[in-house]
Amino acid sequence: MFFKISLTFIALISIVFSQTDDEESFLFVTKQTFNRFIVENKELTIKYGLYNSGPTTVFNVNLNDMHSFPADKFELLVGTLNPKWERIHAGVNLTHVVVLKPKQSGLSNITYAIVTYQKSEKNTDVQRTYSSEIGDIYIMTSREYDRRFSSHIIDWILFTAMASPCIIFPFFLWFNSKNKYELLLTKDKLIRKVQ
């Protein structure tokens, strides 16, 4: 009986250890924008988040997002769309930020980034994963953005300049008539005192 229990216990331990040895790491990749409104010729910030979800380190990590931001539609201001990391340790979060400037307005599709990596230094098999995608975005023209969200200081100055004659001219008429009336009252009081 003791022999059967010992054999069963050893079998269970070997199964548990064999499963943890076969457990592999996997990269989760997110892609998001910080901008609420995307405007032509204004900065667009994209953030990539990489998370190694397994118990082992992954090696030769390459992120490629050149296809989402073609050079004829976007200008790269800060960062790179093709970063590389030698390794990402188990359970580590990594963040990469890119700043771009859209050259054209209209609809644009920002798809997923492709990430390749190796599960060990010796293993030459390349694994591939994809990030989340932002999808279709609308890029506003600068003029449309300013019309909707600027403070309109010039508009208020022009409005004040155009509305001023409508207010100032009646004020001067009232002020002159008030002065004439007060002058007549003072003369009338003087005449009554003299009499």
Q: What is the pLDDT of residues 75-119, one digit of tens each?
A: 999 999 999 999 999 888 999 999 999 999 999 888 999 999 988
pLDDT in tens, 38-68: 999 999 999 999 999 888 889 999 999 999 8
Of 15-19, 133-137, 189-193, where does the model show the most confidence?
A: 133-137
Residue 175 has pLDDT above 70, yes or no: yes
Domain at 2-149, CATH from 3.30.1330.40, 2.60.40.10, 3.40.80.10, 2.40.50.840: 2.60.40.10
Between 19 and 163, where is the model more confident?
A: 163
* Nearest in space to 93 (alpha carbons), one of 23, 34, 28: 28
Q: CA-to-CA distance for 160 and 158, rounded, in angstroms?
A: 5
* Nearest in space to 85 (alpha carbons), one of 58, 123, 66, 113: 58
pTM score of the predicted model: 0.66
Between 22 and 175, where is the model more confident?
A: 175
* pLDDT average, residue stretch 154-161: 85
Residue 21 has pLDDT above 50, yes or no: no
At 7 the pLDDT is 47
Helices first, then strands: H and E counts in the chain:
3, 11
